[in-house]
A and B are shown apart, each in its own frame.
Chain A
Amino acid sequence: MPAAELAVVADGLTRRFGLVSAVRDVTLSLPRSSVLLVIGPNGAGKTTFLRLLATALKPTAGRVAVFGADLVREPDAVRRVTAFVPTGPTTYDGLTARENIEFAAAMSGTLVEPQEWLERAGLAEVAHRPVRTFSQGMKRRLTMAQAWLRKPALLLLDEPFSGLDADGLRLVDALIADVKSRDGSVILCTHEWERGKRLSDLMITLAGGRLVESTSLVSTTHVEFVTARGHR
């Protein structure tokens, strides 16, 4: 399959911090329109893996291509199609919900109608209130909306379920479905794997930075497109 047809192609992806390898020799191919669940114990390298794909970190070794764009040589092309939702909020407490949406849109070069996104996040009534007054669930929803409005082809979610209220869970469902419908892919890391499994097509387990297991969670038609090397 041509590389641009695959959302992510990683070959020997490694990231060291000083003496410690947080991610070690991860190789996988993720097709379009699929959701990859990454599970593993704390410190297994899940967040580092996501941050590498988000271009927040550079690999120490290995090659990665996101929709054909090389991570190291074309980071801006990768950023154009990727949105990363970290564990913490990406919102500014001192700005209103609407201003946060407008800011995210302006910074990512997207033109949006803020009201639409506030509605999707269920924050339309509090559009003009400062985020400082929001509950944690509301902040998480706003953070997700900021990523969603960029209409990413690759969505990276780090522990998306933490701090979410019922509205937030529905939002995550809608967000993932939307990305998939536009032929994009999602990678989500969580240790709430029951929830994660419901939403995902594929699952890999990281331990000690290594990819130790990969499974297909849905029909076998997906398995042939996924190659993941495990034990070393």
Chain B
Amino acid sequence: MILRTLLGVLAIVLLVTGAYFGLVVSPPDAFQGDYVRIMYAHVPNAWVAYLSIATVFVTSVLYLWKRRAIYDHVAHSAAELGVLFTGLALATGMIWGKPVWGTWWTWDARLVTTAILFLIYIGYLLVRALSEDSERGAKVAAIVGIIGSLDVPVIHYSVLWFRTLHQPASIVRGDIKMAPPMLMALMTSLLAFTVLFIYLLTLRVHLQQLHTARTESLAHEV
């Protein structure tokens, strides 16, 4: 409980620091100007989106193997956070893209994969929501989670090869040459969002555990 609160405090501190570095300390980009600052939100969001799916994968495997409820709770919570951060990543990506590259969307592999990841999360959460009994539903969700998360790299490479081995992509997102202050801001933001993710995850898992405990105690009363 205390650990969780500390984690939350740490997350806020890091977020504020990251925001300070990103918005104030770091310089504007040579080409993009101040728009580059969106990167300090976009990249961590995308990072957490993929961190979440990796979490879903690992905990789903663990759940099928060990059948302990905690793994199921973490997988579910990670998926909920995943859909949130994937949505944010897509939104910040589009907000960034429009002024800098002139379009809301490009069909490069990373963006397409992220969009499909969003849909994979939604499919996973729908399965959870619509399952008729919870124990079997947890098993189904675990399998859906495992296949869905393994699918992500497959999609990425399929899309990449589909396009690039035939015709060059029309717009390429170049890598940004980063000055040290920018790098520092980015790293801080990455760390901040990771801690935030872990904090929210523990909160959500705790809530899930309370809910399950309540359902079980009701069952024993009957």
Contacts and interface: CB of A to CB of B under 8 A. Distances in A.
- Assess A/B contact in the complex (Cβ within 8 A): yes
Interface of A: 16-21
A17 B133 CA distance: 8
B134 interface: yes
12 contacts: A16-B219, A17-B133, A18-B133, A18-B134, A18-B215, A18-B219, A19-B215, A19-B218, A19-B219, A19-B222, A20-B222, A21-B222
Q: Tell me whether chain A's interface is mostly helix, strand or loop, or mixed.
A: strand
A18 B218 CA distance: 10
Q: Tell me whether chain B's interface is mostly helix, strand or loop, or mixed.
A: helix
A17 B222 CA distance: 12
Given A17-B133, A19-B219, A20-B222, 7 more contacts: A16-B219, A18-B133, A18-B134, A18-B219, A19-B215, A19-B222, A21-B222
Contacts of A18: 133-134, 215, 219
Interface string B182-222: 00000000000000000000000000000000010011001
- Nearest first, the 5 A-B pairs at minimum CB distance are A19-B219, A19-B222, A19-B218, A16-B219, A20-B222
Residue from B134, B215, B218, B222 having most chain A Cβ neighbours under 10 A: B222
Interface string B118-136: 0000000000000001100
Residue from A16, A17, A19 having most chain B Cβ neighbours under 10 A: A19
A20 B220 CA distance: 9
Contacts of A20: 222
A17 B132 CA distance: 11
Contacts of B222: 19-21
Nearest to B218: A19
Contacts of A17: 133
Nearest to A19: B219
A15 to B, nearest CB: 12
Contacts of B133: 17-18
A21 B219 CA distance: 9
Nearest to B219: A19
Contacts of B215: 18-19
Contacts of B219: 16, 18-19
Nearest to A20: B222
A21 B134 CA distance: 15
Contacts of A19: 215, 218-219, 222
A3 to B, nearest CB: 28
A19 B215 CA distance: 8
B132 to A, nearest CB: 10
Residue from B133, B134, B218, B219 having most chain A Cβ neighbours under 10 A: B219
Contacts of A16: 219
A24 B134 CA distance: 20
A84 to B, nearest CB: 20
Residue from A16, A18, A21 having most chain B Cβ neighbours under 10 A: A18
A134 B156 CA distance: 54
Interface string B45-68: 000000000000000000000000
